[in-house]
Structure 1
């Protein structure tokens, strides 16, 4: 077989094309098609960057119109009509209805950019260096983001020490004990050896970590712990924001208001790169240009982000639909898990996982699903979880079809 240009020119670092060995050509809604015309139902959604599906026609038209009218494409942090439209829409549809007095920073186009900026800002505000993170966390692949990431292999790839952070047990990590007990004790005991941190960074649902859910009560206790000790709370909502768990922000379920929020992935709407750092107004202590990035002014993404907010977040229709479809997904997965001994499920909204007692099963199920025409990836510390993350806009029939395919894949592996 003749080697392809992907083999001869592209780096060995490529990953997804190895587990899904085809060449994709087009995509719309919840479906991708390869160059041979075969269709694949997408329960991956660009790792969470395509909450509103592929080639969303409303976003597409707005983007085409903007480009054809010679709209600004690249602007660094200059003021543009596209940026103004997004800021006004964020304020009116997201912040005001939720009582949030947030400022908006455009740090660069990726989730890691947002996390890096959040960490820098927290250290600047407090004058402290240490940041507390959690077991099984994932926050990105740049050095600062890796320093608060749990996965040993990803951390090792940094090639240098990753200091000024301390991991704490995430909710459930100790099997149901009070996972915040050690943090409280260590913070309040001057002989614990733990420096008073600038911030705590947390995901309300750990996607890459294996679909680990923080309970509402735990999130509230964490927020109270931080507030009582003058520690900033950073929520990484890069993957779980924009409705993935139901509400626009994943932390809304707990009724908390983080000091800083990192967002990316689906905030751009159409899959265009964009990231935001949101923070309470009193934390806006940046000097002009103190943190920047060449591509922080991606105006096409500003346009599609604004349209996404207008289309889906001017009311609660999408939120209610996500919660309803999430219940159907949970019920369907529970039925599938019952047929494979030792398999459990967990999730919230439209992020769910099948957790296999035999970690090798997850990869086999993912491969079997691909052969059936369904894209699902794996996650977790040993890749023991099949991660299901479809577009929020998929139809009920598409959801049922996907459940049927995953059920067939699981039966083939476990049967």
Structure 2
């Protein structure tokens, strides 16, 4: 796709024979710039302090051409192309960090769950100042990723600077062969489920469906927390599949690009895994791209309450295209929009309920109250379903945002609960009265 023809080319006199330069201009090539590129290329070959082969110069030129478009477009050599495919499938060797460029600085978008980076306390927004002593300010995004990837069992030293800190700190991580399952789940309390999606891989939709089935084996859910915090995104189709499991109709997301093929619309299907379960979605500054697609769709359709902090704000779609030489091209081809028409590019999604990270601490003299259940030998409730071990430590003590999400789900159930006197018998009587009233 060349540039538009110049004014000179458009006003060319059809009665004369066009020169080669005019023909090139009419085809959209800026002739003078092409000539300048050839001149620079030749001068580098002839006078640079070290000899550089033509292939290297051309590859570097293509990398530079893409890197100046946006932070997510890049030229991928064969190894980088293979690494990207592996990470999409959920298996690669590294430390488990999704990175991007923010204000021209290499920045952590999100650590992947249960990886060396996550266990070491790496957080979204941490700036990576150096990798094994190599400053990152002169590295491309792909060069930085290549440095962090490596053989499992080898160490890597990162120099990290966090907002509010004056001095960077060193973190030594040991690379692992990471086979990440993108979905995990558990019951927070009887009837209240927790579903965590760490990234969107090719099988995330299927794994989410299995997790929802597993959560309901002991009975229907009264509420569900969908945790998309620190989820850096991934495969668009998987994000649509996940949102579809909570929506029975309507638009999920649509994309708009320069080409007709890049204009796509994704809608929910009637067959839905969890259409009616009260839902709270947790997001934060590490929730990006595909995670924002899910959050935005559920928010716009009024299907869920979003809780946490504003998301990352990556509202663009990239296509990964194989090239004939075995390399690849990752190119931004469209913007995506939530069902209501919002583009969240560089804006992010604001939660319905803002809750920042925190920690719940119980004071030493907080007035602990003795209850029947604390007495030795107390009688059980009599309902076998209620004979479960109590949770000694509140969820909020370890994860304040998650604790608040659970409290909100309980509040939603209280609001929707039938009032006293509207039990099963009353419901039957009301139904009979309605039937009588409708008789001829």
Does TM-score exceed 0.5, indicating one fold? no
Shorter-chain TM-score: which interval? under 0.3
State the TM-score, normalizing by the size of structure 2: 0.23
State the TM-score, normalizing by the size of structure 1: 0.24
Max Rg structure = 2
- Indicate the structure with greater strand content: 2
